[in-house]
Amino acid sequence: MKKIISIQKSNDPKRLFPIPFTSVFISMTVLLIMGLSLSGCNFPDSGITSNDGALKISIGPETSSDRSLLPGISMNPVEYKINGSGPNGAVFEKVTDGEDSYLYGLAIGEWLISVTAVNTEGVGIGYGESIVLIEGSSLVAVTINIEPLIGDGTLTLSVTWPDAEVANPGLAGVLTDSAGVTQSLVFNMATGTANYTNAGITSGYYTLSLQLTDGEDVIAGLVDTVRIVQDAETIGTYSFTDLNHPTGDVEIIVIVDLDAPLEVTITGAVDILSYGTKMTDQRRGANPGEDVINYQWYLNGGFTGTGETLTFGMDLRSGTYRLDGVAISEDGERSGSAFHSFTVE
């Protein structure tokens, strides 16, 4: 009786990520083909007849797509290490580069088949396993998904910018995994550059966002896709050259100080002063600038005294008079005057 297992690669994606891209893994379909004749069947190129099981290994071509930030090792498998563990301690090992190959004389019963994908450097980059039950006169299909190894990898980032154009630089980085969980990246800042490295990031795909700031203003930024692979380093180098310095809003406050004349008034003056009596005049000057004001008094053009208040008139003869009051700021930049005419009878 024939028992043939055919392994064919499938490219059906199995994962979802926060941004559109396809998970890279190898899906291998294991077909357990049992001959319908009961005995006496020859296996291809075997030269033997057996009632035991046989395994045919077929691996199709792999497809891949470009990624923005990839690890420093090849994720393209060039070799597949296939191991089987079956009834009563039966085992087998097989290495194939993707060409069809055969294994004969497998015992009827349950087998654990594992497949390790290896790259050109001989590094294991993926693994998958499945249980296969070999039994008579039936066709069974089993899928083995070879997925990236789960473990920690290293992320190294270097960011530069023109130092002369950034007065107070800062760099904010966030790494978001496929489940939406974020982690902040703390950079080592230097003159015109910042660096980050972490050897403990779980393998998988991430979204990386970077923002360069000048004080509180964001002046540049980017988002990239990052892949982390177990025991491998993913390196990213970025240079911000076109900076977006925001134009500021300016509030212009104009203070008008054109040394306008002081506004002066005279109070307490009378229009007619009786001969031999006196009057007291008080002079006031508007002083919005809070300057120190000096006051001077003039009677008919002659200097009479200083101060805010002037008392006079006892020695005035009958006649018509003009009293002028002048106010002058201490710095001499502002002045003003007022007058009052009166008669002595």
Instruction: Judge if 120 and 18 occupy the same domain.
Output: yes
Indicate the number of domains in the chain.
Answer: 3
For residues 149-183, one letter each, b for 16 or more C-beta atoms within 10 angstroms of the residue's C-beta and e for the rest, the string is beeebbbebebbbeeeebeebbbebebbbeeeeee
Whether residues 50 and 124 share a domain: the answer is yes
* CATH code of the domain in which 228 resides: 2.60.40.10
Q: What is the pTM of this model?
A: 0.52
pLDDT tens digits for range 52-74: 565 666 655 554 444 457 777 88
Query: pLDDT tens digits for 159-184?
Result: 999 999 999 999 999 999 888 899 99
Query: Over the stretch 240-254, which tens digit does the pLDDT of each residue have?
Result: 998 887 766 666 666
Collapsing DSSP to helix, strand or coil, 164 comes out as helix
What pLDDT does 310 receive? 85
Of 131, 148, 165, the position where a domain reaches its end is 148
User: Which range marks the domain in which residue 137 is found?
Assistant: 3-148
Q: What is the pLDDT of residue 35?
A: 34
Give the range among 125-139, 160-174, 245-259, 313-327 with minimum mean pLDDT.
245-259
Do 106 and 225 belong together in one domain?
A: no
The arithmetic mean of pLDDT across residues 114-137, rounded, is: 83
Query: Torsion angle, CA of 287/291/294/295, rounded to 10 degrees?
Result: 0
Report yes or no on 247 lying in a domain. no
Residues 108 and 228 both lie in one domain: no
Residue 96's pLDDT band, with cuts at 50, 70 and 90, is: confident
CA-wise closest residue to 229 among 69, 19, 8: 69
Same domain? For 53 and 66 the reply is: yes
User: Cβ distance 335 to 262 under 8 Å?
Assistant: yes
